[in-house]
Amino acid sequence: MTASSSISRTLFAADALLPTGWARNVLLSWNESGQLTEVLTGLDPQSGEAGEAEEAAKAAGPLIPGMPNLHSHAFQRAFGGLTEFRGQAQDSFWSWRKLMYGFANRMTPEALEAIATWLYLEMLEAGYTSVCEFHYVHHDVGGKPYANDASLSLALLRAAQKTGIGMTLLPVLYQTSGFGGLPPREDQARFIRSTDNMLGLLQHLEPVTRAQQAALGLAPHSLRAVPPDSLKTALAGLHAMLPKAPVHIHIAEQTQEVDDCLAWSGQRPVQWLLDHAPVDARWCLIHATHMTPEEYAGAARSAAVAGICPTTEANLGDGIFDMPTWLRHGGRWGIGSDSHASVNAAEELLMLEYSQRLNLRQRNVLGGGAQPQVATSMTLQAVAGGAQASGRAIAGLAVGQQADFVVLDARHVALNGLPADSGHAAHVFASHRTSAIADVWVRGQQRVQAGRHALHEVAQQGFVQTRKALLQNA
């Protein structure tokens, strides 16, 4: 039964992960807008004194907050598996990028909508309840604008609306092919916008996103792709229009990027950004893989969120983010699936923790303090950081936040008989990562039931047909 068909906008869970930690016998209530209005704990639905809890629907297992996905390039989902071959003596991010550009240049609005619809459905089934879409394919082949300049952005918004996932749309400003204002390459033509043109696009999209209850921000692609003057002008225009709008940027992902930035400016990328841009809590630094201790400290002090994409960073050979150093400075962070080598919220958490273990040759690196359970600690931090980076009220199971949550199946073999915190840990570290997900709710509406979205078969077929057509046109 969906929330929209239920008389009562309530759900009772024997165990729920609140921002303060695990709580027993929890009743959630939300309003017509899908905003949580009450979170009661310690109720006993059998006592006759629990009131509304007796009539509420009962969760099938432990309740965890929906995970924000803070970094997505939707079209790349259809590119998965097409670059896992040895193409040269030493394959790298840069050789992968060349192949990816070729794929991007076949994209159409219809293809993007079909791919994104399937991807966003996959995300919901995998425990994500919202997505930050870092969207940089703007124009038709050769860089010719569409009759409606927002065609590809609108395709993404329609996909989000059809599936019910929450959306933060981040149109990407992309102008140059390298530091120092190098002209764009021919295969980057579909990405390029002037600063004024980008601000015009944002003005066009603002009422559309607001009507859809989506958020709108800006993504300067990277320091190599946006000259300093353009960065300054674009940020001023954005925040004159939307003062709280999020700003996401790729930064220090690759060592070559660091070397090129040093050659251009005498500073490393994160150091340059902190010195020349108004970096604050509205910002999300995507990857930020290669930083000095001073950059870790400075970036953490800025209150920006580090956007970590563990499975993509592993797939591309980027390197390992130094999470213990980041946390020592009070840094905030969240997870994204980026190129979608994996679409699985728990998988990203597992990969993040395991990368730290391999790097440090220790166990349980990201647990400790008030939350010794690694899965609990990571989930709460990733939800809080992801919500901040999204610019939306999705920071967990608390009054005033959206009713976005995931119900785990207490009968699943990995969880059965375990206390809630251990069952949650088993979901992250000892299941198939999505197999223990029973139900997913977004803004108080049930979008996944018994592990499946209502559009699963139709969207899957559309994705497969679209990918086939794109590959035939190669």
Other CB atoms within a 10 A radius of the CB of residue 186 amount to: 11
Q: Helix or strand or coil: residue 8?
A: coil
Asked if 160 contacts 131 with a C-beta cutoff of 8 angstroms, the reply is yes
Quote the CA–CA distance of 202 and 206 in Å, as a whole number. Answer: 6
CA angle, residues 125, 131, 137, in degrees to nearest 5: 115
Q: Are strands 305-308 and 332-335 parallel, antiparallel or unpaired?
A: parallel
What is the number of residues in the chain? Answer: 474
CA distance 308 to 70: 9
338 counts as catalytic? yes
Q: Please give the backbone phi and psi of residue 37, each rounded to the nearest 5 degrees, phi first.
A: -110, -15
CA nearest to 190, candidates 272, 299, 104: 104
Token pair 């273990």 is found at 357
C-alpha dist (Å) from residue 156 to 27, 171, 265: 34, 11, 36
Question: DSSP assignment of 74-120, as one string?
Answer: GGGGGGTTSS-S--SSS--HHHHHHHHHHHHTT--HHHHHHHHHHHH
Nearest Cα residue to 59 out of 397, 432, 428: 397
The label of the residue with tokens 């059998």 reads 46
- What number of CA atoms fall less than 13 Å from residue 174's CA on the CB side? 21
For 52-67, letters b (16+ CB in 10 Å) and e give ebeebbebbbbbbbbb
Beta bridge partners of 250: 286
Beta strands in 318-414 (DSSP E): 332-335, 405-408
Yes or no: say if 121 and 448 are a contact pair by the CB < 8 Å rule. no
Amino acid identity of residue 34, one-letter, is G
Catalytic residue, from 71, 135, 287, 412: name it: 287
d(CA 197, CA 193): 6
Tokens at 5, concatenated: 């068909």
Residue among 140, 318, 338, 409 flagged as catalytic: 338
Q: Which residue has the tokens 């996103």?
A: 209
Residues annotated as catalytic (active site), given as ranges: 287, 338
